[in-house]
Amino acid sequence: MAPTEQRRTAESLVEAFNNMDIDKIISLRSPDCTNQILPRSIKLPLQGNAPYEKRLRFLHPIFENFCLTVEDILEDVEARRICMWLYAKADTAAGQYLNEYVWILQFDESGKQIINQKEYVDTVMQKEFYPKLQAACWAQGKKD
């Protein structure tokens, strides 16, 4: 069976991240798409496209050789949702970045645009790695 339009969009999103093609990433999102980084305990605000794009452009030079690998994918065609378990790695000034994500993507009726993204992150890695990364970036003059 041929992949659905939303499956092709999800795969295009992963490819765009692997190429760090921020314009492509944003083009796959509806104009009013929201992104929420979870769990809620890390207290990051819901983001629309403008702050999401700003964050990606800030992170782009910090994460070299960024690569996402899809470990598993579940699709609910009727609900227009895809859940992806992803493994990420990149090179940074603080050493190798290794992280896991779970993305829950909600699509428009065409399946060509993401209307909502929930992004679960490995909070243990976040707590351990990001202070080191911030210190390394400050040392190199890249300030958040």
Cα 83 to the chain's mean position, in Å? 13
From residue 92, how far is each of 88, 140, 144 by CA, in Å? 13, 11, 15
Tokens of 94: 């603080």
Cα 110 to the chain's mean position, in Å? 22
Q: Which helix (H) or strand (E) holds 92?
A: strand 81-92
State the average pLDDT for the chain. Answer: 92
Give the pLDDT mean for 82-108.
95
Residue 14's pLDDT band (boundaries 50, 70, 90)? very high
The predicted model scores a pTM of 0.90
- Assess contact for 88 and 67: CB atoms under 8 A: yes
